[in-house]
């Protein structure tokens, strides 16, 4: 078996994969309008729907399976695309698993399809209200799934090890509250002008405040936007668990190469100082 699974779908031909998806889901994919990311390809269909095709190393698929988008269809009160059907298969020689899900087509576009958000988006009060209601409904849902940010299950051990490695092991990083979370809430997975939460493959139980913290750290290049996230999700972000999970996310930013973190690096350093002071008080 190959030890280097094909992980970057932004390049190369994937005609065989897409043809298999068309046959399985009985749709025609508009490849000219494809949105290609590192591990997924999204395409509109002739049925007026959207199909997201993803590849994942078999080693990344845990015992809970790999059907986050399908299981998220049972959530109530969350602004998200409706799910219709899915198909998955193994490409054993490459060590990959493939999955395709057909959902509603969302006309609103992602706030920031890729990269770091550096210009304030035009988001009205209705947008923020929809987001807040959606995350509250999600946090109140019942699930046994565990969130898999960056395809890795989140756990107390993972979070404590990361914080200890970057900031030292003198801090008590015990997490006292876990709730369902989207687990990849960034500006590429939120649309505007209508607020819809996209890409649900990694959702599941996570430290309370993970989604708000994700949005906060991805907004740091725009101070006014970061302040609005803080105001909207004040209860989650000001809790001890919320502060710990925010520190966990900041660890990735402050240890990444400067050209990767870019305009997030300096404000993330300031946020780290603020968090450590509050957590050590």
- State the pLDDT at residue 133: 98
* Residue 211 neighbours by CB distance under 10 Å: 28
Q: Cα–Cα distance between 55 and 220 in angstroms, integer?
A: 30
Sign (positive or negative) of CA dihedral 26, 32, 36, 42? negative
Sign (positive or negative) of CA dihedral 118, 122, 124, 129? negative
235-267 pLDDT, tens digit per residue, is 999 999 999 999 999 999 999 998 889 999 999
Domain boundaries, the chain: 15-105, 110-280
136-181 pLDDT, tens digit per residue, is 999 999 999 999 998 899 999 999 999 999 999 999 999 999 999 9
Q: Cα–Cα distance between 44 and 34 in angstroms, integer?
A: 7
Number of H-type helices and E-type strands within the chain: 10, 9
109 exposed, middle or buried (CB, 10 Å; 0-12, 13-18, 19+)? exposed
Residue with tokens 């030292």: 168
Same fold, 15-105 and 110-280: no
Minimal CA–CA distance to 131: which of 48, 214, 51? 214
Could you tell me what percent of the chain has a pLDDT over 70?
98
Could you tell me what percent of the chain has a pLDDT over 90?
85
User: Given a cut of 60, is residue 187 above it in pLDDT?
Assistant: yes
State which CATH number among 2.30.29, 3.40.50, 1.10.8, 3.90.1200 fits the domain covering 110-280.
3.90.1200
Query: Hey, what are 89's tokens?
Result: 């298969």
Minimal CA–CA distance to 99: which of 63, 163, 55? 55
| pLDDT confidence tier of residue 2, bands split at 50, 70 and 90 | very low
CATH topology of domain 15-105: Phosphorylase Kinase; domain 1 (3.30.200)
- State the pLDDT at residue 3: 45
| pLDDT confidence tier of residue 73, bands split at 50, 70 and 90 | very high
Residue with tokens 């897409």: 18
Mean pLDDT calculated for residue range 207-230: 98
Minimal CA–CA distance to 275: which of 248, 254, 253? 248
Query: Hey, what are 100's tokens?
Result: 């395709």
90-141 pLDDT, tens digit per residue, is 999 888 999 999 999 999 999 999 899 999 999 999 999 999 999 999 999 9
First to last CA, the chain: 52
User: Given a cut of 70, is residue 1 above it in pLDDT?
Assistant: no
Q: What are phi and psi of 183, to 5 degrees?
A: 80, 0
208 exposed, middle or buried (CB, 10 Å; 0-12, 13-18, 19+)? buried
| pLDDT confidence tier of residue 269, bands split at 50, 70 and 90 | very high
Mean pLDDT calculated for residue range 43-47: 97
Q: Cα–Cα distance between 45 and 48 in angstroms, integer?
A: 6
């Amino acid at each position: 078996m190959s030890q280097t699974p094909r992980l970057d779908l932004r390049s190369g031909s994937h005609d065989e994969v897409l043809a298999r998806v068309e046959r399985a889901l009985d749709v025609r994919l508009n490849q000219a309008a494809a949105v290609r990311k590192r591990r997924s390809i999204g395409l509109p269909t002739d049925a007026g729907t959207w199909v997201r095709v993803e590849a994942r190393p078999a080693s990344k698929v845990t015992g809970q399976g790999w059907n986050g988008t399908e299981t998220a269809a049972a959530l109530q009160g969350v602004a998200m695309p409706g799910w219709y059907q899915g198909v998955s298969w193994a490409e054993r020689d490459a060590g990959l698993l493939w999955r395709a899900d057909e959902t509603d087509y969302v006309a609103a576009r992602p706030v920031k399809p890729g990269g770091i958000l550096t210009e304030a988006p035009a988001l009205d009060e209705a947008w923020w209200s929809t987001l807040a209601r959606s995350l509250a409904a999600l946090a109140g849902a019942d699930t046994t799934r565990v969130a898999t940010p960056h395809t890795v299950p989140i756990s107390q051990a993972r979070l404590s090890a990361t914080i200890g490695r970057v900031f030292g092991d003198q801090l008590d990083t015990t997490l006292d509250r876990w709730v369902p979370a989207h687990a990849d809430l960034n500006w590429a997975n939120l649309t505007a002008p209508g607020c819809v939460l996209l890409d649900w493959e990694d959702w599941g139980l996570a430290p309370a405040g993970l989604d708000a913290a994700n949005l906060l750290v991805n907004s740091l290049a725009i101070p006014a936007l970061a302040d609005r996230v803080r105001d909207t999700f004040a209860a989650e972000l000001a809790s001890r668990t919320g502060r710990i999970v925010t520190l966990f996310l900041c660890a990735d930013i402050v240890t990444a190469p400067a050209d990767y973190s870019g305009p997030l690096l300096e404000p993330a350093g300031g946020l780290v100082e603020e968090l450590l002071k509050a957590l050590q008080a």
